[in-house]
Structure 1
Amino acid sequence: MGISIHILDTALGRPATGVPITLARLTDGKWSSLNVATTDADGRCKHLLPATEALQPGNYRVHFETIAYYNRHQLSGLYPYIEVVFTVTEGEQHYHIPLLLTANGYTTYRGS
């Protein structure tokens, strides 16, 4: 199943579309890029982990390039990018990482 993302712009009350996202995994002390994607019309990236990659225990990083979204909507955002680092534990098959976004703040959590 892998890793999925959903971004909602809570200030505007709509999905954050067209946000560039990069997924990386920490291996031997170095971040290795696994995939680059962009949120769809619903603010989602349903399959951020490529089908050719197995979800392995360890640390992963999602980089949200929020400046692209702010610029497209003529917003002045405080965070040009947001990085969320999380740990995948043994036996887990899916991680959903939602991001609730405003121009001056954000919240994230483990979704379902």
Structure 2
Amino acid sequence: MAGSGRLTTHVLDTAHGTPARGMRIDLFFVHGDHTHHLVESHTNTDGRLDQPLLVGDQFQRGEFELHFHVGQYFSRLGLELETPFLDVVPIRFTISEDAHYHVPLLVSPFGYSTYRGS
């Protein structure tokens, strides 16, 4: 389904009040009880990706899952937690139309939120 559809994301570090620079993000296509890894990327200095995760011929309808590697991110910042509360934050969502899907993450070491953005 090639068209105007695209998938983007960004991450904000609410603990420090900054974009989450250098966070690893993996995108998976969900097929029944299996997932297929599609893309690995890292956020830039603005907490965004340099290009959409899905665009053009890669963009399709279906169920997807983003994995945000927040434990690795906070560890790299030097956050010393005996036992980190969050490691990988998975967000599963459905693409049902040829449109812009923006899935941001607001995260701290102890909690997160997301929404369908614009």
Per the normalisation by structure 1, the TM-score is 0.89
1:10 aligns with 2:14: yes
Amino acid of the residue matched to residue 40 of structure 1?
A: N
Deviation, structure 1 residue 58:
1.1
Single out whichever of 15-24 and 76-85 deviates more from structure 2: 76-85
Whether the 8 Å contact between 1:34 and 1:50 is mirrored in structure 2 is: no
1:85 aligns with 2:89: no
- Aligned partners of 1:52 and 1:40: how far apart in 2? 24
Moved over 4 A (4+): none
Structure 1 residues not aligned, in runs of 5+ = none
Q: Secondary structure at the match of 1:35?
A: strand
Deviation, structure 1 residue 57:
1.6
Residue 106 of structure 1 corresponds to 112
Richer in strand (by share)? 1
Residue 33 of structure 1 corresponds to 37
Residue 28 of structure 2 corresponds to 24
Amino acid of the residue matched to residue 18 of structure 1?
A: G
Amino acid of the residue matched to residue 111 of structure 1?
A: G
Residue 54 of structure 2 corresponds to 49
Q: How many residues align?
A: 110
Which one has the largest radius of gyration?
A: 2
Deviation, structure 1 residue 101:
0.6
- Aligned partners of 1:68 and 1:44: how far apart in 2? 17
Q: What is the aligned-residue identity percentage?
A: 36
Per the normalisation by structure 2, the TM-score is 0.85
